[in-house]
């Protein structure tokens, strides 16, 4: 008899513990983690399982700016304070009080709280929105044989790997808006592997870029040949000029010394010369040469 009573007491204790656990699970507010790519649509749900009609829905957003969005069913009225026009109800708040954000940007990232008021009490739901930004990927090389794979302005930072696998160095630049630029450098021997491949892994995108280094090496080879030919042409032209001038100098020396040029000696101050005498009679005759005496009056 005592054994049965002990068993019943243990069973009641286990049932009571299970009941408390279920009550805690029901009363505990829901928590959602939402990851959305920038430019896409974000839906934040607000859990409400009761069959009693809701009286009010309140969304509070603690992102870059504080936002308040509320709905009252008795007045069929919506109030929005300091919220973007991109934030609206997914459907009607009476049927589904979920929040819709479209298009999403980095400024929308943060914590969101949904509160539903009904005759049965208040029900809370929490959501954390994370915005993912795909990076811009480039693959380049220089003349020294260094290949650079860059994933610019991604969130989170992208992972970079190489094919075939080789030793590489990686750098990161963190931007004020939360994005990260990751750059990977690798020294490549095009004679061993003419093609290099960069693999970029990111939650929003996976990209594979390949570069044919044999073409780059061929261009560099032609450039070096062209540069050498130019230098050789300049040297050859200089040698020809040198030979021409030497030939002219030798011809002049064969003719003998040139005759000296005589120059007159000039004084430092020029000599003063008397002006020539003027013939006054000739001057007077030239004045009256074409004069008509008939029009002369005394």
Pairwise CA distance, residues 123 & 1, whole Å: 47
Q: Which is more confident, 142 or 251? A: 142
Residue 267's pLDDT is 39
Q: Whose CA is closest to 54, among 70, 32, 38, 34?
A: 70
- Tokens 């994370």 locate to 130
Q: Whose CA is closest to 56, among 126, 118, 133, 120?
A: 118
Residue 91's pLDDT is 87
Domains plus CATH for the chain? 27-132 (2.60.40.10), 136-213 (2.60.40.10)
Q: H or E element: which one contains 37?
A: strand 30-37
Q: Which is more confident, 295 or 12? A: 12
Residue 167 confidence class, pLDDT cut points 50, 70, 90: confident
- Tokens 């934040």 locate to 44
- Tokens 């609206």 locate to 88
What are the tens digits of pLDDT across the range 126-153? 999 999 999 999 999 887 889 999 999 9
- What DSSP string runs through 128-158? EEEEEBPPEEEEEE-TTSEEEEEEEEEBSPP
Q: What is the pTM of this model?
A: 0.60
The answer on pLDDT for 7 being more than 70 is: no
Residue 201's pLDDT is 96
């Amino acid at each position: 008899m005592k054994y049965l009573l002990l068993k019943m007491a243990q069973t009641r204790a286990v049932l009571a513990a299970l009941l408390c656990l279920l009550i805690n699970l029901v009363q505990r507010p829901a928590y959602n983690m939402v990851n959305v790519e920038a430019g896409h649509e974000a839906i934040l749900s607000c859990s409400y399982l009761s069959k009693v009609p809701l009286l009010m829905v309140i969304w509070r957003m603690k992102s870059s700016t504080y936002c308040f969005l509320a709905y009252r069913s008795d007045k069929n009225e919506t109030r929005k304070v300091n919220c973007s026009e991109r934030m609206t109800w997914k459907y009607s708040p009476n049927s589904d009080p979920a929040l819709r954000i479209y298009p999403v940007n980095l400024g929308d990232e943060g914590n969101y709280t949904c509160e539903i008021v009904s005759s049965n009490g208040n029900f809370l739901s929490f959501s954390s929105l994370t915005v993912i930004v795909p990076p811009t990927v480039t693959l380049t090389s220089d003349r020294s044989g260094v290949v650079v794979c860059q994933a610019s302005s991604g969130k989170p930072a992208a992972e970079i790997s190489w094919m075939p696998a080789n030793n590489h160095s990686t750098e990161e630049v963190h931007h004020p808006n939360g994005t990260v630029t990751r750059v990977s450098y690798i020294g490549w021997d095009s004679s061993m592997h003419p093609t290099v491949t960069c693999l970029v892994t990111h939650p929003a995108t996976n990209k594979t870029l390949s570069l044919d280094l044999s073409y780059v090496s061929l261009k560099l080879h032609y450039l070096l040949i062209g540069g050498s030919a130019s230098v050789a042409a300049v040297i050859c032209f200089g040698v020809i000029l040198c030979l021409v001038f030497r030939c002219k100098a030798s011809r002049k020396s064969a003719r003998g010394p040139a005759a000296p040029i005589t120059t007159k000696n000039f004084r430092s101050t020029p000599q003063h010369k008397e002006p020539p005498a003027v013939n006054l009679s000739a001057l007077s005759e030239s004045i009256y040469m074409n004069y008509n005496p008939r029009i002369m009056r005394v």
